[in-house]
Amino acid sequence: MNGEATILHADLDSFFASVEQRDDPSLRGRPVLVGGGVVVAASYEAKAYGVRTPMGIVEAKSLCPGAVVASPRFEAYSAASKAVFEVFRDTTPLVDPISIDEAFLEVGGLARLVGSPESIGARLRERVRDEVGLPITVGVARTKFLAKVASAYAKPDGLLVVPVDGERAFLHPLPVERMWGVGVKTATKLRARGIEHIGDLAVVPPHALSAYVGRAAAYHLHALANGRDPRPVQTGTRRRSVGAQRALGRRHKTMEEIDSALAGLVDRVARRMRKAEREGRTITLRLRFDDFERATRSHTLPRPTARTERLLLVARSLLDVAEPMIRDRGCTLVGVSVSGFDPQAGVQLELPFGEPDTATLDLALDDVRERFGSAAVLRGSLVRRGEGFAMPTLPD
């Protein structure tokens, strides 16, 4: 492990909303909500009124009546993300992407050539501002975790360096919610035991902590709270899952509508898997209810696959199981992801039963969509509703 503060966490501020403000000068300085039925991004001006994501547009408008609503333009976000990542890769070859709007950068080897991590961070912010026109916040620290906490602390449009001898002084007074992996539920449990700050968490022995957060999480939290995070900045690690999701808005949906949205998502995920030449065994269905609580259901197949038909069959059976929950609690988002990739796995051929060959169908559809765009061929059930927004993703 590295003993110096050389890891940068660079995170674009209110990414989608900032792109809208960049491209439409009339939106600058004003509260902006990006989304259809649900807010997928809000500018800092809107966040000041208490708008959070995800939140229904109606609720957000009631909190912030002056807000301007912009429809998402995902192509513009993809292009902006690409441009920002070019700046990252021009800064250092060691870029570890987390999502389309954030990444870790290791700048340890650059001290003599370019300058200190702090000056590199400042230069990076300037370049993203000048070359792409977007605000970005950078946290600098010895570990990934501290760098991320630092950038969250410095937002918006800031730069914060956590010096190695100032880690405890920075981290320990922060509320436990700032910990990675501590959400509202865990925070409530911890606070009920008098653990309010990260400093409180650091002194609880992990075996005592495991009674209320689970064993693995307890050791993990304990290590992070004490500044131990051995994960290096890694480039070229292939992603461990491929997924897509679709917000469905707040109005009532029939199971058929949810099912057809799911089928469209499976089409998209399966196509991306085939393009990246991956096969997965575990299919996870993600749901968000009317109250924005989330749930997941998953199933693991005996053999990996990238076939649309197989993945859809599993996704649908997971949806069937979740049906009573959806009836009770509504559904505002559906997502599906496939994981359990095993690059070592050999290809098990299937018996030729003379059934319709869905593998060939998949390849033919992939070709058509590659050439004429993803909306060139749609499922019958999606013709009227469309396939929904394709959230931009990192390359697989």
Tokens found for residue 279: 């096969």
**Radius of gyration in angstroms for the set of CA atoms belonging to the chain, rounded to a whole number:** 23
* Residue from 48, 58, 216, 345 binding other proteins (CB under 8 A): 345
Reduced to 3 states, what is the DSSP secondary structure of residue 184? Answer: helix
Region at 345 (left for phi over 0; alpha for psi -120 to 50; beta for the rest): beta
Asked whether position 317 contacts other proteins by CB under 8 A, the answer is yes
* 102 is a catalytic site residue: yes
Closer CB to other proteins, residue 270 or residue 314?
314
Among 3, 353, 373, 380, binds other proteins (CB under 8 A): 353
Task: For residue 224, give the nearest of 211, 206, 208 by alpha carbon.
Answer: 206
Q: How many CB atoms lie within 10 A of CB 60?
A: 25
Q: Determine the size of the site formed for other proteins (CB under 8 A).
A: 21
CB of 270 to other proteins, least distance (A): 16
Is 329:236 a contact under the CB 8 Å cutoff? no
Which residue in 3, 205, 302, 356 binds other proteins (CB under 8 A)? 302
Interacting residue with other proteins among 110, 233, 314, 336 (CB under 8 A): 314
Query: According to CB under 8 A, which one of 293, 351, 360, 373 is a site residue for other proteins?
Result: 351
Site string for other proteins, 78-107 (x = CB under 8 A): ------------------------------
* Residue of 129, 32, 120, 131 lying closest to 72 (CA atoms): 32
Among residues 65, 230, 324, 346, the one that binds other proteins under rule CB under 8 A? 346
Helix axes 358-372, 255-275, angle to 10 degrees: 80
What is the spatial distance between Cα 135 and Cα 132, in angstroms, rounded to a whole number?
9
Q: Which position among 25, 65, 324, 352 is part of the footprint of other proteins (CB under 8 A)? A: 352
Catalytic residue among 4, 45, 75, 102: 102
- 240 touches other proteins (CB under 8 A): no
357 binds other proteins (CB under 8 A): no
Q: Is residue 101 annotated as involved in ligand binding?
A: yes
In the complex, the smallest distance separating the C-beta of residue 314 from other proteins, rounded to whole angstroms, is 5
Instruction: Compute how many other C-beta atoms are within 10 angstroms of the C-beta atom of residue 47.
Output: 18
Rounded to a whole number of angstroms, the minimum distance from the CB of residue 352 to other proteins is 7
Minimal distance, residue 349 CB to other proteins, in Å? 5
Question: Angle at which helices 74-91 and 117-127 pack, to 10 degrees?
Answer: 150
Q: Which stretch binds other proteins (CB under 8 A): 60-68, 176-184, 342-350, 373-381?
A: 342-350
- Select from 111, 187, 223, 313 the one that contacts other proteins (CB under 8 A): 313
Between helix 74-91 and helix 15-23 the angle, nearest 10°, is: 100
324 binds other proteins (CB under 8 A): no
11 is in an annotated binding site: yes
Cα dist. 309→241, 256, 349, 358, 366 in Å? Answer: 18, 18, 16, 7, 14
Other Cβ atoms closer than 10 A to 369: 18
Nearer to other proteins, 317 or 393 (CB): 317
Residue ranges of the alpha helices (H) in 24-103? 44-47, 57-63, 74-91
In angstroms, give the least distance from the CB of 124 to other proteins: 38
Catalytic residues: 102
- Return residues touching other proteins (CB under 8 A): 299, 301-304, 313-314, 317, 342, 344-355
Q: Which residues are annotated as a binding site?
A: 11, 101
Q: Which residues are annotated as a binding site for Mg(2+)?
A: 11, 101
